[in-house]
Chain A
Amino acid sequence: MFGFHYRLERHSIALAVAIILVASVGGAVEIAPLFTIDETVEHAPDMRLYTPLELAGREVYIREGCYACHSQMIRTLRDEVERYGPYSLAAESQYDHPMLWGSKRTGPDLARIGGKYSDEWHFAHLFNPREVVPESVMPAYRWLSRNELSTDDLGRYLAALRKVGVPYSDDMVAHAADDAHGQATPDSARARGVAGRYGEPTNIRAFDGDPGRLTEMDAVIAYLQILGQLTKAAYGSAPDAGE
């Protein structure tokens, strides 16, 4: 073995090829099957897609780095299930490009935050967390309510996501910007379009309390309120936990 190596280390290209081959095995064995084995992702027929407004909120969440302090992955441990709700299923993030499971809990897990608090609570909390929770170390995100939400690119977001496998329809892509406005403007014509395309249970309301303006605050709260609500698959298996 050492004799072989004695010869190998005299040839730089052979050494390089050997490194690539030896290093490739682990990833190939562990990652490739995840795309083919059926059990990797559970079947969740009731799974709905992010609306354009929720998607925009998700982008704000990414942009502000909320994922650096908040996980969205409840592990299969008793204390986590009791604290945060039923453990997370793979199906719940099957349309998440990228996933936001996180690796650090400076703040609590948010996988099932949807519906836990009112919109007003979220607004006050994001505006100044210490107003609501005095001991909090979460940053204040005051500018979210100042910034108008830019909806120009939402159609392209949906189109790009469709290219990587999220089943958005032509109709959804074409109406992306309208739907974003509609979801935060209840009782408007545009609002009815949202319910038609994304289903009746979709939250349609002025998330930041002001139906006249569409802000980044609207988007983030819409996103937070849907976390853990896209499918009921996880609640079926553990009905006693959570709620």
Chain B
Amino acid sequence: MVAQLTQFERRLALIIAGLMALCGLVLAAFGHRDPIGVHGLIILAAAIGTMFVVISGSFADVPDDSHLGRYYDDPIKVGVVLAMGWAVFAMAVGDWVAWLLAYPEMTFDAAWSGFGRLRPMHTTGIIFGFGGNALIATSFHVMQRTSRARMPDQLSPWFVLLGYNLFCILAVTGYPMGITQSKEYAEPEWYADIWLVIVWVVYLALYLRTLARRQEPHIYVANWYYLAFILVVAVLHIVNNLAMPIALASAKSFPIFAGVQDAMTQWWYGHNAVAFFLTAGFLGMMYYYLPTRSGRPIFSYRLSIISFWGITFFYMWAGSHHLHYTALPHWVQTLGMTFSAMLLVPSWASAGNALLTLNGAWHKVRDDATLRFMMVAAVFYGLSTFEGSFMAIRPVNSLSHYTDWTVAHVHAGALGWVALITFGAIYALVPILWKRQGMYSSALVEVHFWLALAGTLVYVFAMWNSGLVQGLMWRTYSASGTLAYSFVESLVAMHPYYIARAVGGLLFLSGAVVGCINIWMTARHAPGTAQDAVRDRPLVILASRSLEPGE
């Protein structure tokens, strides 16, 4: 890890870690009566750990120039491992939360383990821990390969990856201590938010600097999506997290917006976190790994242009569909509904583009579970965007809002689309990174595929059912014109579905565990390959090499 860093980068790494240690120390000292003090200690420990690794690695020789002729893949390997680790952790918490809704006593008589503190642990851990690490790792891979250029330096990818994980840890350790802003998907408090902005700026700079070194005149489609993901998430994150801390040594802050303005800002953020985190980034993944794995070029370049700009433009209008029939002014609701319906066009254009790319490679889909992961993901993407556009219609939303139907939609997208495309991409990526002929066991990939698919279907069907039943019971009138069911009656009706959902989640989780084992065995034991090592190189050095005498 440190051996690959130049002398200058090693020093810079020490300085950065030193500054962080100082920040951690200050927070720990001044905030010792506040939960922020614990976070100060965590930052301090992370910084000291980094310093230790850097110093002990500094005795290694400085790398010679030959490494410039290779892509820089070490941070990608770590990113993949981190993504899988977060996946298992956050899904386990998700399943615990799922069981709690069936058996509320399955927890401790302690504040940290309450439903309301565990649930954001699940959502943050899975979206930001699993999804974010997968996006960062694959984007490092895709941007180098499609640019045929090595990353410009060795330090910033580590800073981005590890700094980002520090943010995730601050978030997930905050909830059990009661640190939260309560804004869904933006729960971490002000200091963690500021840290994420710093990490994100370095990420954007790294991406643009790599693109600037590219040897291809055109920027490949996948990069447009990754760029949109980085840029728009930055804007959303900053605006939605504007807050007034009560003191610099306290974790607590108050968002600057209130009431209806806060609601609109929050769901403008919330919906576009879906759009640019859970959709755009993963579409970038799909646009690279699906064609490379299937050996087919993207079906239509023009369709990619239309869907890219359609998604970038339309999504940002759609947030108000989370606030139908509320105190939000009517005209904003109508705009949100209209744009959500139009959003179906670019969404299906993307899904269709992916599936049509597979024309001529369907026999591979049949034989190769990795490719099948991506194919099924594209189908679920099409399905959940259709469902979303449908739920955004006001009368439909009057039934679905507040119910488990939303949870069904979320997980059709999250399990079916986000997680499946990620597993597909990771199975395609791991052999390349560790220079193996293939995964350790393709049978285990197959097992993972069926567990994941079964888990998704059980989860989603259980929640569709419970959501519909719930929504209908709440609005059913008896013959005498009064409401037919009490709230508690609807609660009792949910019980069997909640058990089914938790079982489905368990299937999905065990699939992810199988995946972890397979990846570990691939890295450790699978037979190596030298074949791709020659082709899988940046263009720069190949070009300059050809000038060397005697070649």
CB of B217 within 8 A of CB of A37, answer: no
Chain A residues, Cβ within 8 Å of B105: 140
CB of A99 within 8 A of CB of B260, answer: yes
CB of B401 within 8 A of CB of A25, answer: no
Q: Which one of B109, B305, B403, B488 lies within 8 Å of A133 (CB-CB)?
A: B488
Chain A residues, Cβ within 8 Å of B312: 19, 22-23
Q: Report, as a range, how many residues of chain B touch the other chain.
A: 35 or more
Tell me the complex Cα distance, A104–B246, Å: 29
CB of A27 within 8 A of CB of B266, answer: no
Chain A residues, Cβ within 8 Å of B262: 96-99
CB of B329 within 8 A of CB of A106, answer: no
Tell me the complex Cα distance, A166–B182, Å: 19
Tell me the complex Cα distance, A89–B325, Å: 11
Whether, in the assembled complex, A164 has its beta carbon less than 8 Å from a beta carbon of chain B, the answer is yes
Chain B residues, Cβ within 8 Å of A34: 260-261, 264, 329, 332
Known contacts being A67-B182, A106-B101, A136-B488, is A9 close to B224, with CB within 8 Å?
yes
CB of A31 within 8 A of CB of B268, answer: yes
Whether, in the assembled complex, B183 has its beta carbon less than 8 Å from a beta carbon of chain A, the answer is yes
User: Among residues 179 to 211 in chain B, which have CB atoms less than 8 Å away from a CB atom of chain A?
Assistant: 180-184, 208, 211
Q: Measured between C-beta atoms, what is the minimum distance from A205 to chain B in Å?
A: 26
Whether, in the assembled complex, A204 has its beta carbon less than 8 Å from a beta carbon of chain B, the answer is no
Chain A residues, Cβ within 8 Å of B487: 83, 107-108
CB of B259 within 8 A of CB of A96, answer: yes
Among B84-92, B248-256, B447-455, B512-520, the one that faces the other chain is B248-256
CB of A76 within 8 A of CB of B325, answer: yes
Tell me the complex Cα distance, A188–B104, Å: 40
Chain B residues, Cβ within 8 Å of A232: none
User: Among residues 267 to 321 in chain B, which have CB atoms less than 8 Å away from a CB atom of chain A?
Assistant: 268, 302, 305, 309, 312-320
- Which 3 A-B residue pairs are closest in the complex by CB-CB distance? A65-B116, A26-B316, A26-B317
Q: Which one of A6, A97, A104 lies within 8 Å of B406 (CB-CB)?
A: A104
Q: Which one of B119, B228, B244, B326 lies within 8 Å of A164 (CB-CB)?
A: B244
CB of B327 within 8 A of CB of A90, answer: yes
Among A112-120, A155-163, A191-199, A217-225, the one that faces the other chain is A155-163
Known contacts being A73-B326, A142-B109, is A160 close to B101, with CB within 8 Å?
no
Chain B residues, Cβ within 8 Å of A25: 313, 316-317
Chain A residues, Cβ within 8 Å of B264: 30-31, 34
Query: CB-nearest residue of chain B relative to A5?
Result: B305
Query: CB-nearest residue of chain A relative to B268?
Result: A27
Tell me the complex Cα distance, A143–B322, Å: 34
How would residues 126 to 152 of chain A score, 1 for a CB under 8 Å from any chain B CB and 0 otherwise? 000110010111111111000000000
Whether, in the assembled complex, B178 has its beta carbon less than 8 Å from a beta carbon of chain A, the answer is yes
Known contacts being A16-B208, A142-B109, is A66 close to B317, with CB within 8 Å?
no
Whether, in the assembled complex, B258 has its beta carbon less than 8 Å from a beta carbon of chain A, the answer is yes
Tell me the complex Cα distance, A30–B474, Å: 31
| Max chain B Cβ within 10 angstroms of own Cβ: one of A37, A68, A98 | A98
Tell me the complex Cα distance, A45–B325, Å: 24
User: Using a CB–CB distance below 8 Å, which chain B residues touch chain A?
Assistant: 100-102, 104-105, 107, 109-111, 114-117, 119-120, 175, 178, 180-184, 208, 211-212, 217-219, 224, 227-228, 231-232, 235, 239, 244-247, 250, 252-266, 268, 302, 305, 309, 312-320, 322-329, 332, 335-336, 339, 398, 401-403, 406-407, 474-475, 477, 482-483, 487-488, 491-492
Chain A residues, Cβ within 8 Å of B259: 41, 90, 92-96, 99
Q: Measured between C-beta atoms, what is the minimum distance from B328 to chain A in Å?
A: 8
Whether, in the assembled complex, A62 has its beta carbon less than 8 Å from a beta carbon of chain B, the answer is yes
Q: Which one of B104, B254, B320 lies within 8 Å of A160 (CB-CB)?
A: B254
Q: Measured between C-beta atoms, what is the minimum distance from B391 to chain A in Å?
A: 12
Q: Measured between C-beta atoms, what is the minimum distance from A150 to chain B in Å?
A: 9
CB of B254 within 8 A of CB of A164, answer: yes
Chain A residues, Cβ within 8 Å of B114: 64-65, 139, 141
Tell me the complex Cα distance, A13–B492, Å: 56
Q: Which one of B183, B253, B320, B491 lies within 8 Å of A136 (CB-CB)?
A: B491
Q: Which one of A15, A62, A93 lies within 8 Å of B327 (CB-CB)?
A: A93
Chain A residues, Cβ within 8 Å of B482: 82
Known contacts being A13-B208, A104-B407, is A64 close to B255, with CB within 8 Å?
no
CB of A24 within 8 A of CB of B316, answer: yes
CB of B403 within 8 A of CB of A22, answer: no
A–B Cβ pairs within 8 angstroms, 11 of them: A2-B305, A12-B211, A24-B316, A31-B268, A40-B261, A63-B117, A75-B398, A104-B407, A139-B107, A141-B114, A160-B246
CB of A73 within 8 A of CB of B101, answer: no
Whether, in the assembled complex, A39 has its beta carbon less than 8 Å from a beta carbon of chain B, the answer is yes
Chain A residues, Cβ within 8 Å of B407: 104
Chain A residues, Cβ within 8 Å of B260: 34, 40-41, 90, 93-94, 99
Chain A residues, Cβ within 8 Å of B117: 63-65
CB of B491 within 8 A of CB of A160, answer: no
